[in-house]
Amino acid sequence: MSNADLHLPPLPRPRSGLPLPLFLLQPLLARVVRRIAAENPRMFNRLGPWVGCDYIIDPVDMPIVLHLRPDPDAPLMRALSRRRLPDHVARISGRFLDLLELVDADLDGDALFFSRDLVIEGNTEAVVSLRNALDDIDGSIAARVADMHGAPGRAALAGLRRMAEKKKVKKQ
């Protein structure tokens, strides 16, 4: 049954801006980073001196950035306005779908970097250490996060993956 069958107005199209206030995202992001850290304590060994350092993950096509601090005792991930960034060791910038595929291990970070679809500012050694730590996680991080949110999470990830696949086809 569609909205027309129910005589409901059409759903609004997504806006270019983030529809939720940042404070609503914080508990979700905190839960995700705590779960990933708890399930993968060995990944912190790969960070070496960069454990507890601050990273900015910048999806350039979104109105927010993510502040990540991989710390086994107090992992942190939160959404921030672009206007007030904390001190950080590195900033990793790219389109949201590229960053998602990078975390999902579907894209080669080196290829993204050399094609200039991924920009790294700051300490590249810290970024390589973070990448190595994430590579130590078995399976897809994105799928784990989606599973944390049940059927709606899996459906959202499937939709994002379809969008990424369409983007790849258009590039070819």
* CB-side neighbour CA atoms (13 Å) of 153: 12
Both structure tokens of 136: 């130590």
The whole-number pLDDT of residue 15 equals 42
Query: Which of the pair, 93 or 118, is modelled with greater confidence?
Result: 93
The whole-number pLDDT of residue 16 equals 46
The dotted CATH code for 18-141 is 3.30.1050.10
C-alpha span between 151 and 139 (Å, rounded): 19
Place of tokens 């679809």: 117
The whole-number pLDDT of residue 25 equals 85
Q: Over 60: is that where the pLDDT of 7 sits?
A: no
* CB-side neighbour CA atoms (13 Å) of 144: 19
Q: Over 70: is that where the pLDDT of 10 sits?
A: no
CB 119 within 8 A of CB 94: yes
The whole-number pLDDT of residue 59 equals 93
pLDDT digits (tens, 9 = 90+) for 98-156: 888 787 665 555 556 556 778 899 999 999 999 889 888 888 888 888 888 889 888 88
Delimit the domains of the chain by residue range.
Answer: 18-141
Place of tokens 């369409």: 166
